[in-house]
Structure 1
């Protein structure tokens, strides 16, 4: 059961005040105070936590009931019901200014008094809820990052939040009631004509300032009868976003430029790395050929053989450059059926001078019964040359003794890989690679050698992956490293 409403009586007639107290008690209300002076009404209402005031318009003293009602309303925010015997026009006009919640002419019945009190309490509770809702609504709109303007049906501004104030450069108190078009003018960023259409690509214009890029949306305000009573305009300053987007585009352009330079650097390094060996062979053979020709009896047969080798090395260098350019252009390899056993023997013959110079024992095989793959001959030869050179250098730089045969052994073999693959393995007896470095072996410019470029294995990976294959490294016990790659087997 709800507690009785707490009521303050402001009445200068003691008999009427006494009867009113009794009447209210009979109706179930609690009278928390009675005063005959308007000057005391507001303070008494506040100290007694009154919820409603019944006030006579004519009071003793300098302040009448209308002035007292105004003080009560401002100090306590409680409803006031006037009880009076006067109903002239001037009194009613003054009373209306205080926004009373009821007006009873004396004498009145209990039912009339109850009705006036209950209606006043009910209306005041609803008004309080409405004001709280409006405050929450205003606080929400004031705190959001978007600008908000509401207009009435005539297009005049009824509300704008602080963000809108900043964007249109006008305070709310100066903007309220003014036509929206005076303060808010929008043009299409591309075509230029004035527009109020929703969307992005708009420019907000105002006197004395540069246009601001915005994004906006417009929604109608519709009452319960379906009538449009105004509109809500929500817009957002896109200046910061445009700045960020421009910086991002500039950063992407710079990244593309740097990436292009990096790619060019990688291509140049790759070409230098790959043609170094055939160029060195050309120089060596040319020097030997000159020596043969300078003898008292020139050895023309030997010179002819050397010229053949020079021609072969020159052709191989040209093929290397062509294949690396194809990799840089992301064009696919020229696939053909390759016998990997025969290809390994060809590459071993090319690498024979290096193998002999470093005292490496080369073992070719065992080879799988089916060692045919689909590949680009020049590019697969490049892979094998790099892997063999890597193994030769690992053996050359090995800390193991040279007396044991196993310490100078390089084995090249093939074996069945996963389904539909052929695996080619190059196993050296060098010192191996630290586990921490093994994952980076195939990264461009990563090397564990004092004078290495770090491109050989990176090129191998690019070529093998372009052939839809795999490349990996595994340690060998008790020492050494196995570099292996797998390629799709040729059909048939």
Structure 2
């Protein structure tokens, strides 16, 4: 494979000296020896040697010089016999020199053109290198040197993955299979520079094929996005911190409801304990009734423990943990925590889920936060409405527009949403309530989009608003 470098060529004196010695040797041999062969044809070797140190015009000059030496030698030895065999051998030699010179000059012109094109690649800020099917680097531009620290002569001939200690987002064989199938591949890689710095790069690969369609060279272009990735990671951490603060703040608003949900099973435990003692304190202990009381105590203790577990999950600060989860279970978890709040707002909650719905891939706690935000917003929106019952309806079904998604819809009977506010409803700090912070829906949107879904709002024709959350099913997310 031809290797090009954009660095200027610095020929040594060895090749020109060797070409001159060969030319002189051929001239002397052609002039002083009586051999009946076209010795001057050997001048083509001088022309070919000139390709290593001369440009296009230089090759033509060398070829012209070899032709002149051929004619001079013929003139010295066969001046009075132009029609003889030596004349034909001289003519053959001149033709061979001319053809070789023309082809060599054309080839050198092509090489110079390619080298000029390669030098243009040094003007870009993108790192560009070319490697063959064995992952061996054959071209390395200036930006690659500046980013990674290796000069072209140090990088060319090395395997790219070994030189850069590349970390791939998928198995290398899978990436190469996609590249051979489509001719292109894009993704993020982690490279290690010569000084040990770890670099995150946006990488684009393009496959070159030969005339028979067989895979050849691979052109790889990389952009350093390490700083951008750090900013994005920082933003993500800030979003998670904000979401955690919002969860804790919401739990603070639900203190009365939470206390009720915990006290109720604990009170039942005490009542059943007292009843059990009475059954056992009879002259003839009623073991059956005492056993039933103990079983009720265990059941209510488990209920209180479940409430505490869900509270701890919502208040805990941890990284998202994605797993297949049922949206109906998520809604039931939230309903258990806001039961007292529903009573305080004189609101009824109805939940309907289609049969046989697949699971979605998500973080259970974050999805609980989204559902809690929507239900709390719905309850608060209906506080000023007296013309119709306060009823929240949660519907979970497969999306008609997106068959590979599940849609959760929360409907309320409030005044609805001002059409002028629909476009800004999910912006940070935008709120239609005087005491609102404007963060609940913004955080909900961030969570839903991080799950690969989308959230939007519409108005109900009969009055009230609907909030829709579309999430991809687990099978699609995993694939």
The answer to whether the superposition gives a TM-score over 0.5 is no
Select the structure that is richer in helix. Answer: 2
Using structure 2 for the length normalisation, give the TM-score.
0.40
Higher relative contact order (CA 8 A, sep 6+): 2
Select the structure that is richer in strand. Answer: 1
